[in-house]
Chains A and B, each alone.
Chain A
Amino acid sequence: MLCDICGKKEAKIYYTEIINGKKKEQHLCSDCASKNSSFLNFPQGDGNDLSLGGMLFGLLDSIGKQQNEEEIPITKCKSCGLSYEEFLKLGKFGCEDCYSSFGKVLNKNFRSIHGADTHTGKKPKGYESEMNRIVNELSEEDKLTIQLQQAIEQEEYEEAARIRDRIRELKKV
């Protein structure tokens, strides 16, 4: 099949666009696809270089661009020095800190790849969440105060009274 735009080269990309409920289907060659405004971020070339890295580049870069209007992402990872452009080109991170360095733009990227942006699976054994770590570092009295607050919020007044008495005892000591 020939390209719908130039009518000369073989169409290698089948493209469906749905805007405001209107569906538009096109068969395009890779040159026209990259020239066409809807494909600003499609990698140029003869189509043989459509590796996952290349696809990812187009996908992530377009999201990055949409976001750029609102916020400018950090351009380099503070630990390994990988730039955001390099990440887009390789489709790979340089170190664990890249995840926090490029954090702001990643959530949308992850949603487009995985349909989700939060892990719900396995955690390493003995892994302590940030929240637990903070709670564990609190003094006994502070911990009880938080528990007291929770008990009151849940209207468990007997439990609240018990906690209150323990706080009083601690204060005496």
Chain B
Amino acid sequence: MKKWYEEQSVDNDIVISSRIRLARNIKGFYFQERMNRESAIQLVNKVTGLTKDLELKENQKFYECSVNKLRDIDKASMVEYHIISPLLAEKEVETGLIVSQDESISVMVNEEDHLRIQAVASGMNMEKAFLDADRIDDFFSEKLGYVFNERYGYLTSCPTNVGTGLRASYMVFLPALNISGKIDKLAEEIGRYGAQIRGIYGEGTKGLGHIFQISNKTTLGRSEKEIIDNLEKIVDQAVLQERKRREFLLNMNGDEIEDKVYRSYGVLKYAKSINTIDALMMLSQLKLGMDEDLIKLKEPINIHKLMMEITPANLQKSLGKSIGRGERDRYRAEYINKKLPQL
């Protein structure tokens, strides 16, 4: 079965994925801040005990596990693939996970809220992500009973998520805007319309790999549809600006950009050792070159998938053992050398 990130879709040169997250809490349990160990275990068992029913309802295979019992490397790998959040990986109390075979649907138990339902679709397809999340939401709502209040909607542990509990986010590839230093301007503009943008590799990485996440800021007072429609318009604008900027840059510095793309390909194809940051940077340059037809490879390759595969934990998982940094950089180079098709 194909994973969601292996599916092809519209506009996915710029919009890599569309993701929905719903925060939900279950009746009869204190929120995380006040929950004791016994209740945490009870809740994980209660939720993961529904996996078989969920499979029947969804007609696809789901896996379940206790996240806190996994090896650190497995947790780190799941974080790098965006299946679980860094917070869930760090927690020491009982935490659970249910995940669909294609990894497009996941339910985290005992993260900041009792349930965090996530659904992701490839490219610009928030509708599919929302329909999936909404269906899973109805299933757990019926089986477990949520904490809901007429005035404030779905009650959440943190007041920033109350109401719909919905966070919709698009993962976008914005090399031209980032190279031209336009991301701060974009952040200011979309901030006025209730959305936010940030780099996916966390604070201080300055949009490494030129990949950003655009998501809604508020969750109360607007319906799910209004939130998603609004965000879609914002992302459409960002895509338009990125395309315009690319056109401008290619007209002005086409030769220079082409040279960078080929240099990146050369290093990625033949280097003997490469660290994560350099690899991500060069892969993103190569992706830009491929998207703009500056470079043609003999076979198609999913660069975004490769970017996820070469992060430290995933690399070590595919090798089947933990290795030190130096050895890891050599293995990473070898891995990319092999994966990249010829010119």
Contact = CB atoms under 8 A, between A and B. Distances in A.
A52 B134 CA distance: 28
Q: Report whether over half of chain A's contact residues are helix, strand or loop; otherwise say mixed.
A: loop
B220 A114 contact: yes
Contacts of A126: 142
A26 B152 CA distance: 36
Contact of B142 (A52, A116, A120, A125): A125
A46 interface: no
Interface stretch (B27-35, B171-179, B276-284): B27-35
Residue of B27, B146, B149, B220 with most partner-chain A CB within 10 A = B220
Interface stretch (A64-72, A92-100, A151-159): A92-100
A167 interface: no
B122 to A, nearest CB: 25
A99 B153 CA distance: 11
Contacts, number: 119
Contacts of B48: none
Interface string B193-224: 01000000000000000000000001111111
A91 interface: yes
B302 interface: no
Given A110-B162, A125-B138, A115 B218 contact: yes
B141 interface: yes
A21 interface: no
Interface string A125-154: 111011000000000000000000000000
Given A93-B31, A95-B34, A121-B224, A113 B159 contact: yes
B150 interface: yes
Contacts of A113: 159-160, 218, 220
A133 B147 CA distance: 17
A9 to B, nearest CB: 21
A129 B146 contact: no
A121 B163 contact: yes
Contacts of B30: 80, 94-95
B85 interface: no
Contact of A95 (B31, B141, B160): B31
A125 B146 CA distance: 10
Given A114-B219, A121-B163, A125-B138, A92 B224 contact: no
B142 A110 contact: no
Nearest to A86: B33
Contacts of B34: 80-82, 94-95
A93 B157 contact: yes
A123 interface: yes
Nearest to B140: A124
Contact of A82 (B33, B155, B159): B33
Contacts of A52: 160
Interface in B82-122: 112
B32 to A, nearest CB: 7
B151 A118 contact: yes
Contact of B159 (A109, A123, A125): A109
Given A93-B31, A118-B221, A129-B150, 13 more contacts: A90-B33, A91-B159, A92-B33, A93-B159, A96-B31, A114-B218, A115-B218, A118-B152, A118-B220, A121-B223, A122-B134, A122-B137, A122-B154
Interface of A: 52, 56, 60, 80-82, 90-96, 98-99, 106, 109-110, 113-127, 129-130
